[in-house]
Structure 1
Amino acid sequence: MDIARLASLIAATLTTGLMAGLFFAFDVAMMPALNRSDDRTLIQVMQRVNVAIINGWFLLGFLGALLFTGLALALHVASDGGDVVPPLAGALGAYFLALLVTARVNIPLNNALDQAGPIEHIADPAAVRQAFETHWVSANRWRTLLCTVALGCLAWALVRNGGLA
């Protein structure tokens, strides 16, 4: 049971770290670069990213962070791992909020961008960009913050678990 608890905690930390890093990369590189581009370029690139990102590696991180954190919490609660439960609960809550932001803001904006159609058929790309960019970037910053909080909680749980001792 100790191995399962530690393995799930490590897997939760790794997958959450990957998601925090992905969202951070969008915050500090991808979106600032696209902000300096024309409307059609931003729309076309983000439409392509929204298709390309749905793959097994992304889903492993995206869903794995939630599942591994939930598993680690359940295993520690079941074994009376009281010192680790509060940071694990904090990590699960923060990551769940990041998923909520994704579901309520980022995915609908991604879908609207896709529904705008191929870039060559968009009559007013400036309007499409305006409806997308500011809201998406703001929501992504929240996802970055929440995933970083979750990662910090998981690091705290690893320390309390003795996994780094």
Structure 2
Amino acid sequence: MLERSLEVLIFIAAVGCGLVAGVFFAFSSFVMPALGRIPAPSGISAMQSISVVVINPSFMTAFMGTGALCLVLLAGAWMWWGDLSGKLLLAGCLIYLVACIGVTMVFNVPLNDTLATMQADTAEAASFWSRYLTEWTAWNHVRTVAPALSLALFVLALIRRAAV
């Protein structure tokens, strides 16, 4: 029973990782480049709006809910520690928690918070916007790869368990 519950939770975490990776991939591949192509005040205003609207139940459930599942799954990694699947599970959880949630909180959110304090049509905002686009997007690339890698590790852990 516990084994099956753990497998279901890993599957749900893998789906959550896929959703989060997809959102971040969209930002890295076309949202941020598009915002960078329009006049700075328009890009700044759009990003300020995105930063407010992203705090919604659907995204936060996928993003933070997957993080909460990873915390629970750390115990599952301990349960399976004698098998490679436990180590894969641990790696997937830690990568998501550190390189997805941690990077968001330490790098992307502070940049968003600074941008939120600015008037979009000022020289100060335009100067910051140039730096923001580069730094925010670079950290977003990390946030894109992390949940995709966690997804792959979770799937590998499930495949490995099925083979045991």
| TM-score greater than 0.5 by the shorter chain | yes
Give me the identity figure in percent: 29
Taking the aligned partners of 2:108 and 2:14, their CA distance within structure 1 comes to: 23
Q: Which residue of 1 aligns with 2:30?
A: 29
Match of 1:140 in 2: 140
Structure 1 residues 16-165: aligned runs within 5 Å: 16-78=17-79, 82-98=83-99, 99-117=101-119, 119-120=120-121, 122-162=122-162
Tell me if the contact between 2:73 and 2:93 (Cα under 8 Å) persists in the aligned partners: no
One-letter amino acid matched to 1:64: G
Q: Using the alignment, how far apart are the partners of 2:77 and 2:123 within structure 1? A: 55
Q: Secondary structure at the match of 1:162?
A: helix
Distance of aligned partners of 1:162 and 1:70 in 2 relative to their CA distance in 1, 3 Å threshold: farther
What secondary structure sits across from 2:70 in the alignment? Answer: helix
Partners in 1 of 2:80 and 2:49 — Cα distance? Answer: 45
Per-residue deviation, residues 139-159 of structure 1 (Å, max 9, x unmatched): 101111222211111111121
**Number of residue-to-residue matches in the alignment:** 161
Label 1:13 to 1:76 Cα distance change in 2 as closer, same or farther (>3 A): same
Give unmatched runs, 5+ long, in structure 2. none
Within 1, Cα distance between the matches of 2:147 and 2:124? Answer: 35
* Higher mean C-alpha deviation, range 74-83 or range 134-143: 74-83
**Aligned mates of 2:79, 2:24 — CA distance in 1:** 32
Runs of 4+ in 1 over 4 A off after TM superposition: none
TM-score by length of 2: 0.89
CA distance in 2, matches of 1:13, 1:36: 34
What is the aligned-residue RMSD (CA, Å)? 1.9
Structure 1 residue 76, shift from structure 2 partner: 4.7
SS of structure 2 residue aligned to 1:84: helix
Deviations 1:39-68 (A, max 9, x none): 011101100000000011111111122221
With normalisation by structure 1, the TM-score equals 0.88
Q: CA 1:75–1:53 in structure 2 vs 1: closer, same or farther (change >3 Å)?
A: same
* Structure 2: distance between partners of 1:75 and 1:93: 13
Query: Structure 1 counterpart of 2:71, which letter?
Result: G
Deviation of the 1:97 alpha carbon: 2.1
Verify the 8 A CA contact 1:43 1:113 in the aligned structure 2: yes
Whether contact under 8 Å (1:66, 1:95) holds in the other structure is yes
Distance (whole Å) between structure 1 residues aligned to residue 161 and residue 25 of structure 2: 27
